Structures are given as structure tokens and as C-alpha cells.
Amino acid sequence: MTQEQKPKASQPAKRRSVRRCPLVASAEVTELRTGAVLSARTSELAVGGCYVDSLNPFPEGTLVALRIIRDQGVFETNARVAYCDPSFGMGLAFTEMAPDQRLVLEGWLAEIVTQLKPV
């Protein structure tokens, strides 16, 4: 295998250790340091993080508060921007999560997985 054919270790999809589930929902991402608020939407969700679609994502390493809103409620947690795709979005890694919010997240993921299973 040549150097050009080898998968790049820096590609976020290759580094994921947990399956992400599709979830399109409204999201509000607030930079903790400045209070800057970004209105966006999620496209993927997992136990340890999510992907947020945004034309102006925060830079890698930025600490944020995340709020995801969907019909079944609201999920809130703190996160760190794990990687950034300029003009496309950012991958967030959850950092601090309250136990009640973890239950919300796990409930949403269980629901999504159930919907994905063929009947």
C-alpha cells in the first residue's frame, strides 16, 4: 500500500470508537469563554459526542455549552470542539454531563436505534 492509499489517521470518522446515530435537531452552541451563541443543527449523535452542521463553526479545542432541542425534549451538556470542518461544521466531544441529561441522551439513542432496525 502506497502512502497515498493509506487512510489518514487524522480523519475524524476513522478515530470514532462509538457508532453515531443520525439525528437532525435544532442546536444552540454557546462558547463558554465569550458567551458567543451559534444556532445550528445536529446531524449525528452518540454517547460521547455529536456533529453540528454550521457554516461558521468554533475552532478546534473551544469549550462550549450545547443544547439540542427536539420534539421529545431538550438535552444539555458541556463539550469541547474535537475537530472542525470550516464552512461545514464541527464534531463535539461531551465533557461534563449531569446524570439526568445522560438519561435523556441514552433515551434518544435507544429510540433512534429502534427506529433504524428493519421491521
Q: What is the CATH number of the domain that holds 54?
A: 2.40.10.220
So what's the pLDDT on residue 72? 74
In the three-class reduction of DSSP (H, G, I as helix; E, B as strand; rest coil), residue 99 is classed as: helix
Domain count, the chain: 1
1 is a domain residue: no
So what's the pLDDT on residue 4? 44
Per-residue confidence in pLDDT tens, the chain, 119 aa: 444 443 444 445 455 456 789 999 999 999 999 999 999 999 999 999 999 999 999 999 999 999 999 987 999 999 999 999 998 999 999 998 999 999 999 999 999 888 876 65
48 phi and psi, to 5 degrees? -105, -5
12 is a domain residue: no
91 is a domain residue: yes
Determine which helix (DSSP H) or strand (DSSP E) holds 49, and give its type and residue range: strand 49-53
Residue whose C-alpha is closest to residue 70's, from 29, 35, 36, 23: 23
5 is a domain residue: no
So what's the pLDDT on residue 113? 86
Residue whose C-alpha is closest to residue 41's, from 108, 92, 78: 92
Range of the domain at 64: 18-116
So what's the pLDDT on residue 16? 47
So what's the pLDDT on residue 2? 44
57 is a domain residue: yes
- Name the pTM for this structure: 0.82
So what's the pLDDT on residue 11? 47
